[in-house]
Amino acid sequence: MNNNKHLFAFYYAELSLLKQQLLPNAQLFLDDKELYHRIVKVLRIAPGEQITLFDRHINTITQLNTIDKKHFSITVISKDNNKLPHPSITMFVPILKKEALELVFYAMVEMGATEYQLVITQKAARAWGGPKEHERLQKIMIAAAEQSKNFALPITRSNPQVLTDVLSSLSITQGNFIFLDPDGQLLIADLNNNTFKASLPYYLFFGPEGDLTSQEKKLLGQHKFQFYRLTPTILRSWQAASLGLGILRSL
């Protein structure tokens, strides 16, 4: 086998149910039509090649063995628990336009956010889409995990809440509280000056397309959030979220 060949990763929701069987060299037969279709029909992965299977808790490297018309077998090479990146980064995500919100959710996995809270702000461009939108965003995070190989998906703190309720329930006393605002001080300058405490968690807030109101920003300031800009220019909400998260995760 070519060791330089790309190692594909696939989300398998039932993987943890097989945890006790996932021992080195163990052989398992899997019966999952969607997974079979992706591995065999779409990507045409052949017997003898390696793939990664993961769910929200564990990941395993396996070798694809036999394939018939509906089933396939694998041999377990290794198994590991999904590890959350450190330090933790909690994202406070306003309800954005659908495409922009999906880009933020993809970036949260790709760049290692550990937790998120959807926030309803006064200038939100639309209403939250409910369970169907939640399901769609979960699929986007899974796709991001398959691409980025970050298998520790960020968890949600709760259902979408209005900003005032989010802040009133924020009982954290220690951490690095950051609000991305074009009128704030330069983020990279304070990072270089060691203003932030690397051992403490980060809490990252950003505004919707229409920005926060002055009253909402005042509330953020009252709850320890410091205002920082990323660039000399005005970024779109999803761009600011992605760039800010990427900077913090690269520390």
Q: What is the C-alpha to C-alpha distance for residues 109 and 206, in angstroms, rounded to an integer?
A: 17
What pLDDT shows up at residue 1? 45
Q: Which of 206, 244, 239 has the alpha carbon at shortest distance from 225?
A: 206
Superfamily classification of domain 89-249: SPOUT methyltransferase, trefoil knot domain (3.40.1280.10)
Q: How far, rounded to the nearest angstrom, does the alpha carbon of residue 6 sit from its chain's CA centroid?
A: 22
> What is 8-81's CATH number?
2.40.240.20
Pick from 33-37, 141-145, 172-176, 182-186: least confident: 172-176
Answer yes or no: are the C-beta atoms of 101 and 142 closer than 8 Å.
Answer: no
Going by their DSSP bridges, the two strands 176-186 and 202-206 should be labelled as parallel
Start-to-end CA distance of the chain, whole Å, equals: 36
Q: What is the C-alpha to C-alpha distance for residues 154 and 85, in angstroms, rounded to an integer?
A: 10
Say whether 58 sits in a helix, a strand or coil: strand
Q: Has residue 5 got a pLDDT over 80?
A: no
Q: Which two tokens stand for residue 196?
A: 């932030």
Q: What is the C-alpha to C-alpha distance for residues 138 and 112, in angstroms, rounded to an integer?
A: 15
Residues 150-154 have a mean pLDDT of: 96
Q: Has residue 184 got a pLDDT over 60?
A: yes
What DSSP character marks residue 126? S
Q: Which amino acid is at 79?
A: K
| pLDDT, tens only, 53-62 | 999 999 999 9
Answer yes or no: are the C-beta atoms of 163 and 219 closer than 8 Å.
Answer: yes
Domain residue extents for the chain: 8-81, 89-249
Answer yes or no: are the C-beta atoms of 77 and 63 closer than 8 Å.
Answer: yes
Q: Has residue 125 got a pLDDT over 90?
A: no
Supply the mean pLDDT for the chain.
93
**What is the CA angle 193-199-201, rounded to 5?**
100
| Locus of tokens 């406070």 | 92
Q: Which of 181, 190, 11 has the alpha carbon at shortest distance from 109?
A: 11
